[in-house]
Structure 1
Amino acid sequence: MKVLILGATGLVGRNALRQALEHGSIETVIAPTRRALPAHPKLDNPVSSDLQALLPEMARRPVDAVICAMGTTIGKAGSKAAFRHVDYVLPVAFAKLARQQGAGAFALVSSPGASLSIPLFYCRTKGEVERDIRAIGFESLTIVRPGMIGGERDEFRLAERMIFPLAALLRPVLPRGLRINPAANIARALVAAVAAALPGERMITSRDLS
């Protein structure tokens, strides 16, 4: 099968890319990125500083499934509009194209705060992307809502550096839903979901990933 991975340079996306390339039933991984990835015999890596500009090229690369691990923060993106472009516009645009080309399975990294009823911009954007991915009509849809994501990021996040050591210390007594979710575990759930492509919708939460 051919799998499209969005967000392959991020913490979860890097893990999903590695696992997908190692997966026996995945023949090709297509990973559009802003900077080139290390070469691999199974990897097709279109590169552009503007990912949306790759959509016409992606129309010539039909896939069987999509893993979307795209995500940023408003601080890193620089504005609400830029954040929405990464977390909503691009995932929905690539999802629509992949579905039109015949993709049957989609796995999305979302957020435990995703909601259309919460006025917070971040939560509402996550709720909107979940809603609109559902509306595209994939035969198999998996939404993953991890809690705190553990792993080595490219960028420094002060809050994580402060909270993670405490969370690790308290792990034995913390409820499963409040434990750190290793990025590799999240990626494993994503890859397994598209490889199995079970009909219907599934929700995977922090309790399932710790």
Structure 2
Amino acid sequence: MTGNKTALVLGATGLVGQALVQQLLTDARYSAVICLVRRPVAANLFDDPDRKLQPMVIDYDQLQDYQGYFNVNHVYCCLGTTLKQAGSRAAFRKVDFEYVHVAAQLSRAQRCDGFVWISSVGANANSKQFYLRVKGELENAIMRMPQLTHASAVRPSLLLGSRASSRPLEEFGQKLAPLLRRVLVGSLSKYRPVYAREVAAKMISLQLF
């Protein structure tokens, strides 16, 4: 039996986004899973037996114009890039800070029940590392946003899974992952490499209301 909640996913075609959407499509709470994407989604990308998936092609640079899509129960934001892919610090910040921040603002405007996004282990607005500083600044901006109920960030370490694009550091981490997952325990457990499906499951667990 399918529930009556609706979910909105941003970044549905990324590593975590794909795992998340697939889990949402089998979650009995949801009757619809809306995905805001830059380009049409391949028909075979997801297994959707109940036909819940509703992909919508949008221009992320004009995200504020799509406020109506945020009239859902739960918003999941999996947007993110790398400095190499973005090409510049400004382009990186546009994706990892501006887009996510606008999504949080639209979620608040539509009074969504919950907003969950992907941050990073070590996120700190005072960090000397640009990547971690941007992630920390975003956490501060969203968590201080008034009237945004149930906003939560997940802070994964190195992400594991099969990517379309090559990331040498992550490929190296994939090889070391079994060892690192055994030795990083206790206070160091937050630095363990984590599979995309695990991050997705954590995001969904934060929307249990």
Partner of 2:52: 42
Within 1, Cα distance between the matches of 2:120 and 2:63? 26
Instruction: Map residues 118-137 of structure 1 onto 2, 5 A cutoff.
Output: 118-136=127-145, 137=147
Matched, 1:140 2:140: no
Matched residue type, 1:154: A
Pair 1:51 & 2:55 matched: no
The CA distance in 2 between the partners of 1:13 and 1:59, in whole Å, is 21
Deviation at 1:56, TM superposition (A): 1.9
Is the deviation greater in 136-145 or in 56-65? 56-65
Secondary structure of the residue aligned to 1:20 is helix
Shift of 1:170: 4.7
Q: How much has 1:139 moved relative to structure 2?
A: 1.9
Give the Cα separation in 2 of the matches to 1:23 and 1:60: 20
Question: Alpha-carbon deviations, 1:125-148, whole Å to 9, x = none?
Answer: 101111111122322122110111
Deviation at 1:16, TM superposition (A): 0.7
1:118 deviates by 1.1
Question: What's 1:80 paired with?
Answer: 89
What's the CA shift for 1:100?
A: 0.6
Which residue of structure 2 aligns with residue 114 of structure 1?
123
Cα deviation for residue 110 of structure 1 reads 0.3
Match of 1:33 in 2: 37
Runs of 4+ aligned residues of structure 1 deviating over 6 Å after TM superposition are: none
The aligned amino acid for 2:75 is: V
Which amino acid in the other structure matches residue 9 of structure 1? T
Does the 8 Å CA contact 2:63/2:99 hold for their aligned counterparts?
no
Pair 162,99 (structure 1): closer, same or farther in 2 beyond 3 Å: same
Relative distance call for 1:55 and 1:43 in structure 2 (3 A) is farther
Match of 2:24 in 1: 20
Q: State which drifts further: 171-180 or 19-28.
A: 171-180
When normalised by structure 2's length, the TM-score is: 0.86
Q: State the distance in 2 between where 1:190 and 1:14 align.
A: 13
- Amino acid across the alignment from 2:76: I
Q: Which moved more, 1:133-142 or 1:86-95?
A: 133-142
Partner Cα distance (1:83, 1:161) in 2: 21
Q: Any idea what SS the aligned residue of 1:46 has?
A: strand
In structure 2, the partner of 1:150 is 160
Q: Is there any run of 5+ residues in structure 1 with no aligned partner, and where? A: 198-210
Match of 1:159 in 2: 169
Pairing 1:10–2:20 present: no
Letter in 2 for 1:67: Y
- Corresponding position of 1:208: none
Cα deviation digits, residues 12-69 of structure 1 (max 9, x gap) = 0111111111111011112111121245521221113x31324323325511111111
User: Size of the alignment, in residue pairs?
Assistant: 195
Indicate if the aligned counterparts of 1:46 and 1:54 stay in contact, CA closer than 8 A. no
Q: CA deviation at 1:103?
A: 0.5
| Preserved CA contact (<8 Å) 2:180 2:193 | no
Report the counterpart of residue 71 of structure 1 in structure 2.
Answer: 80
Q: TM-score, structure 1 length as denominator?
A: 0.85
Please name the residue that 2:205 is paired with.
192
